[in-house]
Structure 1
Amino acid sequence: MHVPDGFLDAPTSLATGAVAVAGVAIALRGARRELDDRTAPIAGLVATFVFAGQMVNFPVAGGTSGHLLGGALAAVLAGPFTAVLCLSVVLLVQALLMADGGITALGTNVTLLALVAVVVGWLGFRAAQTVLPKRLASVPPAAAFGALVSVPAAAVAFTGLYALGGTAPIPLDTLLTAMLGWHTLIGIGETVITGFVVGGVVAVRPDLVYGARRVLATRELEIRTPQDPAGATS
């Protein structure tokens, strides 16, 4: 859903630019706690995968486009703060080198794709984890649920921004219907892709999946408790 230049008025674009700068600044601080020798390589791979996935675009309405977002996938694999940075870098490269999204709309695109999609995707993933069994097999379906809710959420957020400062001659109800319709379908596709990718990594190297760390820590604790007398409380 790359937003082109001029689709939103200047005040709205400036406001989303400020939100994007603040969000990236917070992510830079938070990523220090996530990045290590395991997550750093996976972050690069995630950024490459998302960049390739977003190159497949579908026209939606009035110059906007729909495509895979990758917010939930990036958050589960590399961590939510690192995911924001990955998506922001991808969007910057696309705007500067690929003419995919406008330069003046970069803040809007970062807000929608790198902040809203990642945050909603991560929250959806964590919410699903609270109701699913606490085991590794639950990580892929939880990630898939995060992807399912993140894409329509970003579409609704864009429609809200358009309601505040849209400049294109498109009725709000028409735009909302088009955005939700297309991005619900895209969300289903992203759900399947996210589930398969996360499932594949979990099956081979679960230690590389940030979203699986709590499950791994719990499992290691359960294994050590009966077998490691040194770990027992006295």
Structure 2
Amino acid sequence: MHVPDGFINAPVSAVAGAVAAGAVAVSLRGARRELDERAAPLAGLVAAFIFAVQMLNFPVAAGTSGHLLGGALAAILVGPYTGVLCIAVVLLMQGILFADGGLTALGVNVTVMGVVTVVVAYALFRGLVLLLPRTRRSVTVASFVAALVSVPASAAAFTLVYAIGGTTAVPLVKVFTAMVGVHTLIGIGEAAITMLTVGAVVAVRPDLVYGARGLTAPLKLRVDGELVDAAPARDFAPVAARSPKKFWLGGLAAALVLAGFVSFYASASPDGLEKVAADKGFDKNVEEHDAAGSPLADYGVKGIETARLSGGLAGVIGVGATLAVGTGAFRLVRRRRAESTGAQV
């Protein structure tokens, strides 16, 4: 749902930019509380992983594809404030390096794809977790529902922005119906990816999942037909005491494989916004991206003719750049937290 330049007029784009900047500023302060010794190592990796998975467009209808937005996933894994920052880093890297999402529309994209998805998803996730039993299964179920709802909510937010500052005159009811309809289908894919990812992390390192903190469901064993709590293993360190290094390396390897190899098999069909814009006719004023001449524009390396190699290398570079920028930014935030509390980084 990357909004290109030309969809939204300059005044509304400027207002959206101010809203996005304010949200990032608030998130920088809030992230100081979230980026503790557990979340800090994971935050940069989450941004890189979301970048990688966003390259995997999946078909949702005839001639239409969708991709992960990632707001729900980021918020659940590292917290809502840090989640907004993760999505902002991803969108910044995509806009500057890959000409994906307009630069003048960056504020619109951060607001619609980052702030709205994180706020809606995390609010719904927390509400469901409070209502459901405190189990790992409840966390994964809540993540599915939260992610599912966040995508059409983002589509509705875009329609509202377009209603205020759209550059073409189109029937807004039809735009709203089409946008929410196709993005509800995309939301199913988003929900599945989010649930599987959160479930996998919770299964191996629940202490690293922000949304699963306080989860104390002991391992159950069936003895004589009854479920009883298993005795804790004495030969192993508590999960929270283990180094996250192996987990971090595994996550990075997964992101590199997805971006470098699996992305070649992604759907080439236009995504939901592109398809609706073409069908409803509000793509007439699309402007050429300011970074169209980038060596990595359109997720390929200029000068490399082999499509598989060009796209794979671009994906690997994107993962590395997002990881570097995200990790650097989160380390600075973490350092500010330590300085403000008088603790040692």
**Please, what TM-score do these two structures have when normalized by structure 2?**
0.59
Q: What is the aligned partner in structure 2 of residue 82 from structure 1?
A: 82
CA distance in 2: counterparts of 1:105 and 1:56, whole angstroms:
22
Q: Encode CA deviations 1:184-210: one digit per residue, 9 max, x unaligned.
A: 011011111111111111111100100
CA distance in 2: counterparts of 1:178 and 1:30, whole angstroms:
35
- Greater relative CO (CA pairs within 8 A, separation 6+): 2
Q: Report the CA distance between 1:11 and its aligned residue.
A: 1.4
Q: What is the aligned partner in structure 1 of residue 36 from structure 2?
A: 36
What is the correspondence of 1:140-155 to structure 2 with a 5 Å cutoff? 140-155=140-155
Q: Report the CA distance between 1:41 and its aligned residue.
A: 2.1
Aligned 8 A contact 2:67 2:190 in 1? no
* Partner amino acid, structure 2, of 1:178: A
CA distance in 2: counterparts of 1:93 and 1:50, whole angstroms:
12
Change in Cα spacing, 1:159 to 1:20, as seen in structure 2 (3 Å) is: same
Q: What is the aligned partner in structure 2 of residue 228 from structure 1?
A: none
CA distance in 1: counterparts of 2:50 and 2:170, whole angstroms:
29
Structure 1: gaps of 5 or more residues: 224-234
* Partner amino acid, structure 2, of 1:185: L
Q: Report the CA distance between 1:18 and its aligned residue.
A: 0.6
CA distance in 2: counterparts of 1:46 and 1:124, whole angstroms:
21
Q: What is the aligned partner in structure 1 of residue 129 from structure 2?
A: 129
Q: Report the CA distance between 1:82 and its aligned residue.
A: 0.6
Q: Report the CA distance between 1:119 and its aligned residue.
A: 0.8
Percent identity between the two aligned chains: 63
1:116 aligns with 2:116: yes
CA distance in 1: counterparts of 2:59 and 2:112, whole angstroms:
17
Farther off after superposition, 114-123 or 41-50: 41-50
Change in Cα spacing, 1:57 to 1:104, as seen in structure 2 (3 Å) is: farther
Q: Report the CA distance between 1:16 and its aligned residue.
A: 0.6
Q: Encode CA deviations 1:8-27: one digit per residue, 9 max, x unaligned.
A: 11111011101000000000
CA distance in 2: counterparts of 1:54 and 1:170, whole angstroms:
29
CA distance in 2: counterparts of 1:57 and 1:18, whole angstroms:
30
**Please, what TM-score do these two structures have when normalized by structure 1?**
0.86
Q: Point out the structure with max Rg over C-alpha.
A: 2
* RMSD after superposition: 2.1
Structure 2: gaps of 5 or more residues: 219-228, 230-345
How many pairs align?
Answer: 215
Q: What is the aligned partner in structure 1 of residue 168 from structure 2?
A: 168
Q: Which runs of 4+ in 1 moved over 3 A?
A: 56-60
* Partner amino acid, structure 2, of 1:54: Q
Change in Cα spacing, 1:166 to 1:66, as seen in structure 2 (3 Å) is: farther
**Partner secondary structure for residue 114 of structure 1:** helix
Q: Report the CA distance between 1:179 and its aligned residue.
A: 1.1
What is the correspondence of 1:91-102 to structure 2 with a 5 Å cutoff? 91-102=91-102
CA distance in 1: counterparts of 2:15 and 2:58, whole angstroms:
27
CA distance in 1: counterparts of 2:215 and 2:26, whole angstroms:
26
Aligned 8 A contact 2:163 2:172 in 1? yes
Q: Report the CA distance between 1:213 and its aligned residue.
A: 0.7
CA distance in 2: counterparts of 1:150 and 1:214, whole angstroms:
24
Q: Report the CA distance between 1:117 and its aligned residue.
A: 0.5
